[in-house]
Amino acid sequence: MSQPKTLIDKIWDAHVVREQVGEPSLLYIDLHLVHEVTSPQAFEGLRLSQRSVRRPDLTFATVDHNVPTTDRSKPIEDPISRQQIDTLRNNCQMFGIHLADITSDDQGIVHVIGPELGLTLPGKTIVCGDSHTSTHGAFGALAFGIGTSEVEHVLATQCLQQQRPQTMQVVVRGQLAPGIRAKDLILGIIAKYGTAFGTGYVVEYRGEAIAALSMEERMTICNMSIEAGAKAGLIAPDETTFAYLRGRKYAPQGELFDEAVSLWKTLKTDEDAMFDQTIEFDASTLVPQVTWGTSPGMGANVTDKVPHPSDFADPVVKRSVQLALEYMGLQPGTPITDIAIDRVFIGSCTNGRIEDLRSAADVVKGKKVSERVSAMVVPGSYEVKKQAEREGLHQVFLDAGFEWREPGCSMCLAMNPDVLAPGERCASTSNRNFEGRQGRDGRTHLVSPAMAAAAAIAGHFVDIRTFS
Amino acid sequence: MEAFHTHSGIAAPLSRANIDTDAIIPKQFLKRIERSGFGQFLFYEWRFAQDGTPIVDFILNTAPYDKASILVAGPNFGCGSSREHAPWALLDFGFKAIIAPSFADIFYNNCFKNGIVPIVLPDDQVQTLLELTAAKKGTVLTVDLEQQQVVLPDNTTFSFEVDNYRKMLLMNGLDDIGLSLQHEDRITAYEKNALFARPIA
Ligand code: SF4
């Protein structure tokens, strides 16, 4: 019998084009997703070296980072954003790449539309010039972010030179309590193990709490793997995965789908397969999470208080905590639920999917956004937007006083006009609370969609478990 | 890409953990479609006040650190976004090497593609370098890639690990796309039996 293998190794081995001792492997890439920010210099590189795109038919582009989330019928005001979007348009035309352009029904955040369109499938190697490519791992794909030089490499060769990664399993035992979501889980894991526990590893999430998650929630988990430093995060495909994918636009159809499912069913870690590293997490005692600092690992239970730098022994950590609290304008010892907010952002590739909007809408239904708060919902894609509108969720949000926007990355990174003003404090469903991420001197607290929605109503953080 | 053998230059200490790529180059500067010209925006929000005037006590704004070409920093350097604009900005500013106890993967990788040497040293050695370069302005360090050593002014040496293949590419200034394309027949053969690739029709 052959050696038992992890899922990660199975996908890896199926994609090795060439192996040579002392050199990285040449790894085949099945799907290359492209967006406007990290691709212009790659296409320019191709032109300069007179190379072409090897497999335009395995390449798919969209615009998401720069697009305005207000009226799309008007031209984009910012000339540099407009130029970047035009550049992608021209490059796609020149190299024959399919583009889900700003007015396309398929447009959206690249990590939302890949799965939605059935481009993301189990067993694939998927790359994109974007660190949150790890999202696609939720389908049992090996998906990771790359830099622009590597974007060029994939365009030219459909391959990457890669060292075989180390493997780690994160075993999540128990079940999440009602009201606790995938976002709380991944924030909880990162708060416990730090923002670098995954560095050098591809992580497989396993255990009963993971198996019970919906695809949307699995995507939230895998999405934030990069916030733990991991190269990629993935979850073995199962019936939940297959049910999600059946009938998707670019997924195999009919009999071909069933054939694909039999192949996909082989995509799991063999019993007795060895991981290079294992960590465990108990989901059953988890409570809602809120970050208080400027790194996703600086998180606390909603029932806790803002920590004091002196709670930390390591001098480097102590100093980071001090800087973070200064930046965030927080006093040590403040109960998390006493932190008042000015803005709420529900959206991003972490939490801009239909289920996220449903869970937020559940909370705001029949209530009003606090007078001190301005709140917005930015669906992750047109498809999410249309689905939400079919379900009447947009009306729930509008009635409560939220803004209802066009899809895009929006205030997750604030490259478009959606920006925090200096000193503004935001409850955000996105993935990064770095200094300046949502606008210079803006203060970001990462939370789940339900927690963000509840904070919008209350005007400060509240424990969703007791909120009514 | 320029070949890298040894480099001597002024080292600047930036004693923070988790310096992310949003801090290295804020997103408002990612809209350019060129690779060059990002140095002026490096660490923008630390270097410049809201109105664009330089913040005088930020280290890279003070002589001689404004001429630094080696950066010494805290752990998990380069975390966050995959933007290659981060190494482009560092390179454009003049940095040739970055020394830290650890780096985020994508950033680490991006450095090599741009001729910057990312050097991992143990905590205590990084601490020594941080203190040394802060205490004595204009301290010159030497990075010897061939010998895999950082040489201090008193000739103390700190050895570092680097993957042989990457070292070879850097020392020869080689284009790895060209190297991959040498195996085009293998790629074509692989494509005939690719199990998971699905053309987008
Ligand atoms: S939503 Fe945010 S994290 Fe996701 S791709 Fe867009 S900018 Fe990146």
Instruction: Give tens-digit pLDDT for A145-176.
Output: 999 999 999 999 999 999 999 999 999 999 99
Residues 6+ apart with CB under 8 A from B156: none
> What does the angle CA A219 – CA A223 – CA A229 come to, to the nearest 5 degrees?
145
Category of B81 on φ-ψ map: left (φ > 0), alpha (ψ -120 to 50) or beta: beta
Q: Quick check: B141 pLDDT over 80?
A: yes
- Looking at the complex, does the CB of residue B80 fall below 8 Å from at least one CB of chain A? yes
A224 Cβ inside 6 Å of ligand 1 = no
Length of chain A: 468
* Cα gap A121→A234, rounded to integer Å: 12
Identity of the residue in A80, A123, A432 whose CB atom sits nearest the CB atom of B195:
A123
Residues 6+ apart with CB under 8 A from A183: A220, A289, A350, A351, A429, A446, A447, A448, A449, A451
Taking the alpha carbons at both ends of chain B, their separation in whole angstroms is 37
Q: Quick check: B82 pLDDT over 60?
A: yes
Is residue A107 helix, strand or coil? coil
Shortest Cα–Cα distance, A456 to chain B (Å): 26
Q: What is the three-state SS of A228-256?
A: HCECEEECCCCHHHHHHHCCCCCCCCHHH
**pLDDT confidence of residue A433:** 96
* Cα gap A43→A107, rounded to integer Å: 21
Q: Quick check: B168 pLDDT over 60?
A: yes
**pLDDT confidence of residue A420:** 95
Interchain proximity A26–B113, CB inside 8 Å = no
Residues of chain B contacting A28 with CB distance shorter than 8 Å? 187, 190-191, 194, 197
A431 Cβ inside 6 Å of ligand 1 = yes
Query: Between chain A and chain B, how many beta carbons pairs sit less than 8 Å apart?
Result: 192
Integer CA distances (angstroms), A158 to A58, A153, B28, B183, in order: 8, 7, 30, 12
Instruction: Give tens-digit pLDDT for A38-89.
Output: 999 999 999 999 999 999 999 999 999 988 888 777 778 888 889 999 999 9
* Cα gap B194→A81, rounded to integer Å: 38
**pLDDT confidence of residue A1:** 57
- Looking at the complex, does the CB of residue B27 fall below 8 Å from at least one CB of chain A? yes
Q: Which amino acid is at A347?
A: G
Mean per-residue pLDDT, B162-185: 94
Instruction: Give tens-digit pLDDT for A190-247.
Output: 999 999 999 999 999 999 999 999 999 999 999 999 999 999 999 999 999 999 999 9
The CATH superfamily of B6-174 is Aconitase, domain 4 (3.20.19.10)
Interchain proximity B165–A22, CB inside 8 Å = yes
Task: Note the helical H segments in A73-181.
Answer: 79-95, 110-116, 148-157
Q: Which residue has the tokens 């081995």?
A: A13
Residue to test with chain A: of B22, B33, B169, most A Cβ within 10 A: B33
Instruction: Give tens-digit pLDDT for A190-203.
Output: 999 999 999 999 99
Which of A37, A430, A437, A444 maximizes ligand 1 atoms within 8 Å of its Cβ, making it the mutation to test the pocket?
Answer: A430
In the sheet that holds A232-234, the strands lie side by side as: A232-234, A201-206, A166-173, A277-282
Question: A65 C-alpha vs ligand 1 centroid, how far in Å?
Answer: 7
Backbone φ and ψ for A377, nearest 5 degrees, come out as: -115, 125
A405 Cβ inside 6 Å of ligand 1 = no
Instruction: Give tens-digit pLDDT for B7-31.
Output: 999 999 999 999 999 999 998 899 8
Length of chain B: 201
Identity of the residue in B31, B114, B190 whose CB atom sits nearest the CB atom of A80:
B31
Tell me whether strands A425-428 and B70-73 are parallel, antiparallel or unpaired.
unpaired
ipTM for this prediction: 0.93
- Looking at the complex, does the CB of residue B131 fall below 8 Å from at least one CB of chain A? no
Mean per-residue pLDDT, A281-310: 97
Residues of chain B contacting A257 with CB distance shorter than 8 Å? none
Backbone φ and ψ for B191, nearest 5 degrees, come out as: -60, -25
Mean per-residue pLDDT, A328-341: 98
What is the pLDDT of chain A when averaged over all its residues?
A: 96
